[in-house]
């Protein structure tokens, strides 16, 4: 059991309360979820008395709390659908968060359009399945009582979640499905992203228009509709902009080859004095090799400078950065995959090898970042 101090650090670090882990994926409850649930309870409680007159206030409140809980569980099931589909396709999932407007599954970007479409479609499929299950339950129950009302409303909520998420605009699932389709048709993920971002802007505009129509018509729920639609429109618009910015950051700079960015590589004995390794490197990547022919790692120049300041003749291996599978790049690897790997890996330099596994260069994170920024200007 975690101590109070570690629990607080977990909340501060992850931006939410860790509820549990599903197949190793942390499931977090963001602070904004509590606000959203209070709003749901406040709106649902009066509805109970309208649709089931004579319901005692405490029973109505209990039904409202139950609806908020079932709604959260439905959103959780929706997001777990995304996570399960991603993990079955070998896509790493970082975490799942429940927040004010629903939930989000944070995962590595799928590398092929088919995977993108499958992962995006899994969530709405779960919501539709839940809508059918609860809808069938409502059909076999005696209508016009609070339990029937709760079951029917859960069915309607899941259907609404599925329909809304299938709207063709990022960051919604429908936008990801649209991106996957355009990506598959054109072979360009960036083209799919721009099409889906445009769809997201249209969805946000439609939400604002519907909210204004409610005000103009003087509908009973006009202010509720206005508030919810504006908040949702902001979420969609901000998410679409974020997706476009992320796409620009992960796009390989046009006209630039990997060979143009990677630095020459030099192999030195791991027992070489660190001062000699530093002076020999001179802007090159250094692979430190042990006497048995195994690589000890890449020379970390900052660590080597610190070591040389105290012990200039210490073995350079003491300032080596391990070579891990995720820090090795193939020289013929697609540019977008290289950007994805570099941005998603906690390392500042990457060993580039040829098809036979021989070192051909070293790519520094900062060099790639600088090239992408220059291409965007």
Q: Which residues are catalytic?
A: 79
- The residues, ordered by sequence, that sit 6+ positions from 334 with a Cβ below 8 Å of its Cβ are 252
Angle between helices 335-343 and 222-250 (to 10 degrees): 110
Q: What HEC string does the chain produce?
A: CCCHHHHHHHHHHHCCEEEEEECCEEEEECCHHHHHHHHHHHHHHHHHHHHCCCCCHHHHHHHHHHHHHHHHHHHHHHHHHHHHHHHHCCCCEEEEEEECCEEEEEECCCCCHHHHHHHHHHHHHHHHHHHHHHHHHHHHCCCCCHHHHHHHHHHHHHHHHHHHHCCCCCCCHHHHHHHHHHHHHHCCHHHHHHHHHHHHHHHHHHHHHHHHHHHHHCCCCHHHHHHHHHHHHHHHHHHHHHHHHHHHHHCCCCCCCHHHHCECEEEEECCCEHHHHHHHHCCCEEEEECCCCCEEEEECHHHHHHHHHHCCCCEHHHHEECCCHHHEEECCCCHHHHHHHHHCCCCCEEEEECCCCCEEEEEEHHHHHHHHHHHHC
User: Which residues have a Cβ under 8 Å from the Cβ of 319 and sit 6 or more positions away?
Assistant: 274, 277, 299, 300, 303, 304, 306, 307
Q: Check if the beta carbon of residue 361 is closer than 8 Å to that of residue 285.
A: yes
HSE-up of residue 133 (Cα within 13 Å, Cβ side): 8
Q: In what order do the strands lie in the sheet with 285-289?
A: 265-269, 285-289, 295-299, 320-321
């Amino acid at each position: 059991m975690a101590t109070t101090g570690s629990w607080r650090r977990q909340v501060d670090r992850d931006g939410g309360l860790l509820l549990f882990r599903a197949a190793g994926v942390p499931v977090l409850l963001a602070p904004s979820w509590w606000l959203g649930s209070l709003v749901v309870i406040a709106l649902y409680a009066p509805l109970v008395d309208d649709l089931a007159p004579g319901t005692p206030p405490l029973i109505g409140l209990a039904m409202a709390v139950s609806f908020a809980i079932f709604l959260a569980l439905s959103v959780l099931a929706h997001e777990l659908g995304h996570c399960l589909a991603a993990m079955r396709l070998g896509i790493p999932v970082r975490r799942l968060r429940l927040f004010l407007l629903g939930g989000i599954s944070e995962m590595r970007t799928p590398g092929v359009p088919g995977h993108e479409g499958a992962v995006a479609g899994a969530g709405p499929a779960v919501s539709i399945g839940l809508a059918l299950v609860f809808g069938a339950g409502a059909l076999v129950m005696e209508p016009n009582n609070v339990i029937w009302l709760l079951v029917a409303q859960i069915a309607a909520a899941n259907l609404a979640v599925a329909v809304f998420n299938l709207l063709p605009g990022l960051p919604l699932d429908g936008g990801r499905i649209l991106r996957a389709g355009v990506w598959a048709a054109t072979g360009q993920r960036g083209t799919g992203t721009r099409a889906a971002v445009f769809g997201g802007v249209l969805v946000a505009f439609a939400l604002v228009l519907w909210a204004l129509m409610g005000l103009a018509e003087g509908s009973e729920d006009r202010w509720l509709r206005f508030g919810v639609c504006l908040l949702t429109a902001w979420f969609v618009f901000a998410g679409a902009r974020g997706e476009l910015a992320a796409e620009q950051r992960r796009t390989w700079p046009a006209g630039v080859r990997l060979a143009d960015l990677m630095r020459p590589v030099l192999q030195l004995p791991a027992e070489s004095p660190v001062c000699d390794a530093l002076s020999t490197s001179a802007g090159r990547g250094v692979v430190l090799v042990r006497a048995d022919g195994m690589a000890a790692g890449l020379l970390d120049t900052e660590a080597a400078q610190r070591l040389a300041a105290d012990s200039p003749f210490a073995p350079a291996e003491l300032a080596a950065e391990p070579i891990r599978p995720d820090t090795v790049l193939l020289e013929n690897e697609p540019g977008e995959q290289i950007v994805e790997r570099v941005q998603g890996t906690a390392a500042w330099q990457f060993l580039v090898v040829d098809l036979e596994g021989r070192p051909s260069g070293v790519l520094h994170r900062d060099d790639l970042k600088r090239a992408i920024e220059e291409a965007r200007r």
